Structure 1
């Protein structure tokens, strides 16, 4: 497991450097990708993000493929892993593109379209997801997602 985490961390760093030719998971299957995921790691090349790194918590998302090929991604904050009644969520609509594993969505926060690419996943344990946006410069973010069977007490 330790070797796998080191490999994933190194992959995240490499993806940050090789923005130009990011390729999605080969034969990506959105139905197999559906379900509950936990964002457990994040690398981001925005200098304005640096002061917030220590505040980053695990967040949970629910990937819900739609009949038209789009995906609804509902995200909850780290305090809502067990989905208590006080949880707040946000739904993002990831629009399908011509390439399986590549989506785009409109960020109301930044008033920009962002690209999402599922770079690597085994569908049951981990996923590496690359987010790209162009504002005053290009920004990229790499997230490590994991699936687990968690018991809320």
Structure 2
């Protein structure tokens, strides 16, 4: 990858806590963004998540399928100790290309998804934001290949 891990990690840390100023990638092209992606990095500002689950993070694979109405279906596969688990998400388009919303059945809340930066064939930086009892922000780094190998710990 042309973008180094250190550069991406720095970008992920800088984006934490600045959701209001983050804009989707200029001229975002959903058709070019479609396809298979691997989540290879994750930063999350929730203390309840970070400490207990840090050692359990693994590479996840997702297939992103644009719909004719501009929404997106995302199927994610994650390896667990009990086996492989898949989950389907439907991201609804907004008026801004690269920005989506989806309803989290886990939290019973609408969450915002923003594709902050991608070059479409190597990496994508995606921000997830939700407001519950306070604001939570997650930044994920996706790659077109599983850098660590499927199922390897990060």
Same structural fold, with TM-score higher than 0.5 when normalized by the shorter chain: yes
Q: Which residue of 1 aligns with 2:46?
A: 46
CA distance in 2, matches of 1:125, 1:25: 15
2:107 aligns to what? 110
Residue number in structure 2 paired with 1:74 = 75
* Alpha-carbon spacing, 1:103–1:16, altered in 2? closer, same or farther (3 Å): same
The number of residues matched between the two structures is 146
Indicate conservation of the 8 Å contact 1:119/1:129, yes or no.
Answer: yes
Q: Specify the alignment match of 1:135 in structure 2.
A: 132
Which whole-Å CA distance do the structure 1 matches of 2:29 and 2:129 have between them?
21
Distance 1:98 1:25 in 2: 14
Please state how far the C-alpha of 1:128 moved relative to its aligned partner.
Answer: 0.2
Counterpart residue number, 2:37: 37
Is contact 2:101-2:112 (8 Å) kept? yes
Q: CA deviation at 1:3?
A: 6.1
2:10 corresponds in structure 1 to 10
Provide the residue aligned with 1:124 in structure 2: 121
Q: Which has the higher helix share?
A: 1
- Whether 1:60 aligns to 2:61 is yes
1:89-104 matches, within 5 Å, as: 89-104=86-101
State the Cα RMSD in Å: 2.0
> How has the CA–CA distance of structure 1 residues 72 and 3 changed in structure 2, closer, same or farther, with 3 Å as cutoff?
closer
Distance (whole Å) between structure 2 residues aligned to residue 148 and residue 49 of structure 1: 26
Unaligned residue ranges in structure 2 (runs of 5+): none
Matched position secondary structure for 1:143: strand
Q: 1:18 deviation in Å?
A: 1.9
